[in-house]
Structure 1
Amino acid sequence: MFLAWNEITRSKLRYALIISVMFLISYLVFFLTGLAYGLAEDNRTAVDKWQADGIVLSDESNTNINMSMMPIKSIDKIDTKEKAVLGQTAAVIQLDKKGAEKINASFFGINKDGFLMPNIVEGKAFTNEDETVVDNSLKKEKEINLGDIIKLAGSNKKLKIVGFTDNAKFNVAPVLYVSTAAFQQIRFEKSDTSENARVNAIVFRAKNGSLKNVHLKDDGLTSYSIATFINKLPGYNAQVLTFGFMIGFLIVIAAIVIGIFIYVLTMQKTTIFGIMKAQGISGFYIAISVILQTFILAVLGITLGLLGTVGTSLVLPTAVPFQTNWFFFLSIGVIMLVIAVLGALFSVRTIVKIDPLKAIG
């Protein structure tokens, strides 16, 4: 440790450059991780709020809730612990005033007495078909407040915002919760409260959390686990895989870069290492010093990259889908550190082969 740290403090500029490169790469990796996680969460937070085990869709839907449709009375054909109907449709909304911004949104038609009713962080739950509870990102990003009236593009339907919930996005769009009667008006442009009214899905909680304990009495329906449903969301899996590969390659690149730097520095110090060996210092001691030096440089660079990422997240606009996940950050930091140290082992092989006489000349 003494040899490793002493050399770093004596050649500050040289090692500062290595730390800077490590900082920039780790900062990029952490920032992309935060963006990837934030985007992934914006696809699914409304689904996670259900705390459900599975969802029932029509056979023809191909696991796409937008393409699924069934009579509301289909809920009686599902034997499970707890169940709730769900209507879902995408729409464009705007404040009921001239020149208001148009916003892409997703409507969830639910029974307010069921378990799909979200937590209320401000205001109250809807009580009729002309009221709605919305994701609070609309307040933070679009300055929409309690009591505001919104209208749907291409429709005469208007809704009053009576409550806000948190973390309720579906396919990156804020969710507006309405009654099943309001959903019929939004989706089908007619009010229908009879058993012939239609919904997109039935969400359930199974006994012991197992789909084996769910029994369907209709051949036209299929049950899926929530994990399967989320993975089949349009674009979700491709997005996760894309960012995953990008982050993985960046980690490998960071390890290669730090390994090359250490190898070049080792080759430049061949004469010095030869003199040290001639003085009786073992190759093992020198090799350990090089590995410790790499460890210190990597820790400093990764730590600065992590601090830079957290600092940046504090000043990002709310519209940027960035979320901090300490488990991911710490795991990636450890992986980068381990791979960087493994990269330094290439330098150790060179040190072991140094012949003191040849090195001194």
Structure 2
Amino acid sequence: MTMFKTLDDADLQGKRVLLRIDLNVPMKDGVVTDETRIERVLPTIREIADKGGRVVLLAHFGRPKGKPNPDMSLEPIAAVLSNRLGKPVGFSADCVGPVAAGIVSALNDGDVLLLENTRFHAGEEENDESFVAELASLGDIYVNDAFSAAHRAHASTEGLAHHMPSYAGRTMQAELEALEKGLGSPEKPVVAIVGGAKVSTKIDLLSNLVTKVDALVIGGGMANTFLAAEGKDVGKSLCEHDLADTAREIVAKAREAGCTIVLPTDAVIAREFKAGAANETLSVDAVPADAMILDAGPASVEAINGWIDRAKTLVWNGPLGAFEIEPFDRATMAAAGHAAERTKAGELVSVAGGGDTVAALNQAGAADDFTYVSTAGGAFLEWMEGKPLPGVEVLKA
């Protein structure tokens, strides 16, 4: 089913393997505070090293704007990688030039080397041909394991694939296979849950989804914009009133495509946005002018869970309410828990992604039971919007 080559197709023994990974991890005072992204790439690094490849790691960190910046050095991450792999990981203070070339030429089969931040050179983000050639001179094979950077056509994410045999790493492979199950050729019926604060950031996403799914559940702040577009009074709720026409266009497009749009019918409202604020549950037709909608109510959750029961495939992006503070996390927690149960029972393929989504599913204790949770923010969204991702397209060639 795959349209790209994987590590199964590569002869790695004795080869210098340029492995692009995502090490853009949260750090505080030089210490990594969340190792999720590091954990995800360990299997690919191990496999290449075990098969006798000489692993040369390429990654970016932060936005140094094409110049070296000691605050964005990858050096502290080499120690974390070494610790997690249980073997030494070398470090080169530059990703190209004589220093890098010297260290790479001294590598033995199975060795692992981390090169300094590729974005310390302007040629990385410009996908500059001479910079790509300098990087390419350090390797025999290119493996991309950074789906989260696949929506960028940079030297280390796209350019290199034109210079040498190219393969998807195991993380990239898992991500692409999961996405294919989610929207590429999913088992129907397909239900999408899209939440979050604003419609404005997800217009392309909603427009694409209504043509691909059987039901689209809209939650979070963006649901208020749709309710207001229907002429309902949403009081002081977060709402983009200027996007009423856009909301109506999306609803019309859904109707044409035979996609059911599911909006909240009841809501948890409060006068202030803080944990434990006095709140009540009302019909969305009865929101007081001085109140704001902060979560979907129990009747809405029941309807959403009903759609999850009917679905064979679920794609989820964004929370259903202000899940960061109690008790406005209830709808998100209940629906996430229900989707996790259905997945665990083998009744549902569930694919989720996008920043807040990962946090919400972790909070619900549901993430581990989903079929796949993508840690890629922008790339996951662009994939959901139906846009081709340069870093993936080039692997298909």
* TM-score when normalising by structure 2: 0.23
Question: Between Structure 1 and Structure 2, which shows a larger proportion of helix residues?
Answer: 1
Larger of the two Rg values belongs to structure:
1
* TM-score when normalising by structure 1: 0.25
